[in-house]
Amino acid sequence: MRYCTSCGIPLGSYSGDYAGASTEISGGMKILLYILSLLFPIAGFVIGAIYYMNPDEEFKHVGKICLLLGVLSIFLTFCCAVMLYVMVLGFVA
């Protein structure tokens, strides 16, 4: 029997999607990725880039949200730092 050199599937028995390949992301996994993206923006950028490059639309959507949450996390951190600076040292012009 001959096998595919890249994925190992027997060539004579291919009938659509490979049974071992998962094209769905569970709801819990999505939430975990979103929380990770908010807490660690670098992880959000890496996960977002990897998922966004996948041709599947669901993966692209999750990747886009992870990227946006990473940017939002950095923006919120910056805003909190500015507010803390103004509260502690006062606004000096």
| Residue 10 to residue 51: CA distance in whole angstroms | 27
Query: Residue 4: its pLDDT value, please?
Result: 74
Query: Residue 93: its pLDDT value, please?
Result: 57
Entry pTM: 0.69
List the alpha helices (DSSP H) in the chain.
Answer: 27-39, 41-52, 57-89
Q: pLDDT tens digits for the chain (93 residues)? A: 577 777 777 776 545 555 545 578 899 999 999 999 999 999 999 999 999 999 999 999 999 999 999 999 999 999 999 999 888 888 765
Query: Residue 74: its pLDDT value, please?
Result: 96
Q: What is the DSSP letter of 60?
A: H
Query: Residue 31: its pLDDT value, please?
Result: 94
| Residue 9 to residue 38: CA distance in whole angstroms | 38
